[in-house]
Amino acid sequence: MDSAPHNAGILLEWYQAMGVCEAVDAVPADWFADLPAARPAHAGLAPPSAPQPGLPPRERKALTRLNDAPQPVPPVPAEASGADVMAARELARGAADLAQLRTLLEGFDGCGLKKTATRLCLSRGSPQARLMLIGEAPGKDEDAKGEPFVGRAGQLLDRMLGAIGLTEADVYITNLVFWQPLGNRTPSPEEVQVCQPFVERQIELLAPDLLVFLGNAAAKQLTGATEGIMKLRGKWLDYGGIRAMPTLHPAYLLRNPIAKRLAWRDLLAIREALDSGRPS
């Protein structure tokens, strides 16, 4: 019997469980093509073990099925090495302006997310903005367009900003990472770490009057805080001499509309801080 379709089904289930839920290219990638010919079929994986006698029948059967199937060598997500982080710092430091930072980032291969994303998704808004907002990671819509916060959460964010009289021309929006994590998983600490020098350099180059951290991930990563966003939100912090406000992520507000009233308080505080800092 040809076991290929059966094994392909098992592999597909595994991909789905790992969060790989959509095609990223028109042409399938052959992840096995570059493997050295002499590499044993089980390289990189623990050798298949015999089904253990103590296992219940269903689990035994599943394990037997897997052990019978040819064992694929899964693509291992690239993790940031110390060298990648150092290269990122060096590169980011060399960017004279935001346009150059974008060009440098286009050529940077130190973040594994780039391999599966469609395109770089760095920022939108104005390089002269007084208000900079930082989210977590681009999603599917952002990946398709190459701009952060353009999906449902982004549309809500635009309406929220509009409610305090701000348009895209008044703000600069970016994320902790600049490529969509496949299957919308949370970016790994290594992926965030390797992108961080570019986040920090954007802050330096833009030199905004105010920073807004959208959600837990950005607030914790950039302030080192350990409390959750519900504790952090609504309070002004100091980020290297810049006033910074953690607030609720618009995606959270879409799921929890009742929390919009908290976000509204934060927005009013942001509006007030912009007005009080404006030269008369």
Binding site for ligand URA (CB under 6 A): 135-139, 142, 148-149, 151, 153-154, 175, 251
Of 61 and 159, which CB lies nearer to ligand URA in the complex structure?
159
Q: Output the smallest distance, CB 247 to ligand URA, in A.
A: 12
Residue among 188, 220, 233, 201 at smallest CA distance from 91: 201
| Pairing outcome for strands 237-239 and 131-135 | unpaired
Of 137 and 211, which CB lies nearer to ligand URA in the complex structure?
137
Of 139 and 197, which CB lies nearer to ligand URA in the complex structure?
139
Q: Output the smallest distance, CB 251 to ligand URA, in A.
A: 6
Could you tell me the sign of the dihedral formed by the alpha carbons of 194, 198, 199, 200, in that order? positive
The one-letter code for the residue type at 55 is L
Helix (H) or strand (E) holding 171: strand 171-175
Residue of closest CB approach to ligand URA:
135
Of 125 and 139, which CB lies nearer to ligand URA in the complex structure?
139
For residues 202 and 221, the answer to whether their CB atoms sit within 8 Å is no
Q: How far apart, in whole angstroms, are the C-alpha atoms of residue 249 and residue 13?
A: 31
Q: Output the smallest distance, CB 141 to ligand URA, in A.
A: 8
Q: Output the smallest distance, CB 276 to ligand URA, in A.
A: 28
Of 95 and 153, which CB lies nearer to ligand URA in the complex structure?
153
Q: Output the smallest distance, CB 181 to ligand URA, in A.
A: 11
Compute φ and ψ for 241, nearest 5 degrees: 90, -5
Supply the DSSP symbol for 259.
G
